[in-house]
Chain A
């Protein structure tokens, strides 16, 4: 079907607020990744799901960040008590291959988060 879909495409919020970012991967892709990209930087790894479980969450910067993928498809990245430093583009990607095997990641258009 369609490619990776992310919503919202843009989110402006105030410092201290709670934010949810949604990712709808390509149907059938078991691997799902969240990355964060700041201007002029490469994608920074946050968390990787294989199926419903978080196979690697070592990139989450602190306990304000949390992500779920309850049914092995759609994933939600949740950010509590947002800070100005959280402002970035949050990219979601899915793949039919697991991390260690390696395969093409299909990226969404990203959710641009701005914390005022």
Chain B
């Protein structure tokens, strides 16, 4: 089955700086790579996703890049704001959607 690894596990950034989270996956047949944001005590919510026929996708301050050859994908958040503080999960759809262990992002004011 699919194995998704995510790092770092925690990330602290100064407000206005960028944050980068990296994930690797094992199943070369995976073709869909979403990122979810989970605030404390809340449900995970999709923030951006990318399919394997695209190398990069951007939505305002958030971007995701995908390297199919290396089987890794990354989330980039620019101009971080306090409301970006949350746990972020990457995922990949091998035969089912499998999640990474999460990255706790803290944005320091």
Contacts and interface: CB of A to CB of B under 8 A. Distances in A.
Interface stretch (A20-28, A79-87, A94-102): A94-102
A48 interface: yes
Interface in B6-65: 6, 31-32, 34, 36, 42-46, 49, 51
Interface residues of A, number: 24
Interface in A50-72: 56, 58-59
A42 B43 contact: no
Given A48-B96, A102-B32, A104-B49, A43 B43 contact: no
B98 A45 contact: yes
A115 interface: no
Most interface-central of B44, B51, B95 (chain A CB within 10 A): B44
Given A41-B102, A56-B96, A107 B1 contact: no
Most interface-central of B1, B31, B42, B99 (chain A CB within 10 A): B99
Interface of A: 33, 35, 40-45, 48, 56, 58-59, 91, 99-105, 107-110
